[in-house]
Amino acid sequence: MLIAVPDLVTNSYFPALAAEELGFFKAQGLEARVDLLSPAPAAMAALRDGQVQGVVTGAHTTLTAFPGWEGAKAVVAVAQGTPWLLVLRADLAAARGDVAAIRGLRIGAAPGPDLALKRLLVESGIDIQRDRVQLTRVPGTEDPGASFGVLAAGALESGQIDGFWANALASETAVRRGVGRIALDVRRGEGPPGAGRYTFSALITTEALIERDADRVGAAVRAIVAAQRALRAEPARAAEVGRKRFPTAAVEMIAALVERDLPFYDPVIGEEAVGATNAFARALGLLSGPLSYEHVVDVRFRSLWTAGS
């Protein structure tokens, strides 16, 4: 089973990578590989076209390749909440939580996550055109094997951008280098109300694969749940995963970030979370009307989220 992630060097999708590197996929009798395929809409297109069998990313991105969620299902949450942070240059006089500080700046944001930032700005009263906010791709992120977060921190340090919207590992990199400061962490209640629930990281697969091989999908779900539990029990194991797949500098940070994120490594996909993500998608024009929980989530796997807990 090939599972795509739009950013590999990140805490946002980390339990899926841990399921591979700590042996939980194999323990379920599943040969699975987690590989980088970016940006997120391209990963979803690959799922639609049968090039991969799963994608772990923000659930809302599913709609870029599966209109109305037709043909796709979320089967387990990998991490709860909107996983990206807004980081601005350290030399800017921007108070924590001050969204208005983004006016006139060049902000790096990847396709997929950028939709959450655009909505956040609308809800904060920021008009991209009027307030001269430039949302841009980070140079080099189109290259094979590139990590958006790592490159975003480097682009901020070199002055190519004034800030970025990316995962916590990228923000921690910029903060530790002294080149950036966190302006918003929406998952922890900063920014406009509800921004922390725009989306959530989930394993998405196709209805066709579920119908053809539900046991294989179930094995992937059990492995991710086991990885989440292992990380909650012993966060230091994150470094073991990082040493196999991350650059050296990221290995030094990942265990601390995983420990910080433990409350979000919950496999349960709640009805409230799906409702919030659907409302976000409607606001973006990705969804024309409300959808039921069962239309988005394959409830056949729901019992696996809490089995043995």
CB 8 within 8 A of CB 241: no
Per the prediction, the chain carries an average pLDDT of 93
Given 196, 216, 249, which residue is the final one in a domain?
196
Same domain, 283 and 219: yes
What is the structure's pLDDT at 145? 64
Per residue in 80-101, pLDDT (tens digit) is 999 999 999 999 988 899 999 9
Cα–Cα distance, 148 to 165 (Å, whole number): 10
Residue 203 phi, psi (nearest 5): -85, 120
CB 301 within 8 A of CB 219: no
Q: Assign 51 a pLDDT band (cuts: 50, 70, 90).
A: very high
Cα–Cα distance, 294 to 274 (Å, whole number): 10
Report how many helices (DSSP H) and strands (DSSP E) the chain contains, helices first: 13, 10
Per residue in 154-177, pLDDT (tens digit) is 899 899 999 999 888 888 889 998
The tally of domains found in the chain comes to 2
What is the structure's pLDDT at 249? 82
pLDDT at 147 over 90: no
Bridge partner list, 113: none
- Pick the range with the lowest mean pLDDT from 123-127, 143-147, 153-157, 305-309: 143-147
**Domain range for residue 96?**
85-196
54-58 and 201-206: which strand pairing? antiparallel
Same domain, 237 and 157: no
pTM: 0.93
Same domain, 156 and 190: yes
Given 196, 223, 247, which residue is the final one in a domain?
196
Q: What is the CATH number of the domain that holds 163?
A: 3.40.190.10
Same domain, 59 and 134: no
Cα–Cα distance, 72 to 54 (Å, whole number): 10
